[in-house]
Amino acid sequence: GESVGLHLPTLSVQEGDNSIINCAYSNSASDYFIWYKQESGKGPQFIIDIRSNMDKRQGQRVTVLLNKTVKHLSLQIAATQPGDSAVYFCAENIGNQFYFGTGTSLTVIP
């Protein structure tokens, strides 16, 4: 299967600080990437996506950066809030399938 990994399984940040969650992928054929957020007891929820012809995309308080040279993408959350506490997954698209990373658990400290 495809390898989509995350550098850290857990991340703790102080409320108000910025969070950066990293993801490495292995297949250079991947042309589309998505970040999902999964809160406890719920299914994953779409946050932001980026296509391989872009290197940056911004949403509300979130930014995704894509570095195709080193096959790395990151999710930046500005002014992290308690409601941001969740597990974050990156997913890469190859053909008709998506391959998900193992997730990073973000804990926001009040």
* Number of C-beta neighbours around residue 35 at 10 A: 24
Binders of another protein among residues 50 to 79 (CB under 8 A) are none
Could you tell me how many residues of this chain bind another protein (CB under 8 A)?
Answer: 22
Q: Is 25 in the site for another protein (CB under 8 A)?
A: no
Among 11, 19, 21, 44, binds another protein (CB under 8 A): 44
Phi (first) and psi of residue 35, to 5 degrees:
-110, 135
Q: Specify whether the CB–CB gap between 94 and 27 falls below 8 A.
A: yes
Place of tokens 């999710």: 75
3-state secondary structure (DSSP) of residue 84: helix
- Residue 32 in the binding site for another protein (CB under 8 A): yes
Closest separation in Å from C-beta 33 to another protein: 8
Indicate which single residue of 41, 53, 83, 110 sits in contact with another protein (rule: CB under 8 A): 41
Do the strands 97-100 and 45-51 form a parallel or antiparallel pair, or are they unpaired? unpaired
Residue ranges in contact with another protein by CB under 8 A: 1, 4, 32, 34, 41-46, 49, 89, 91, 93, 96-103
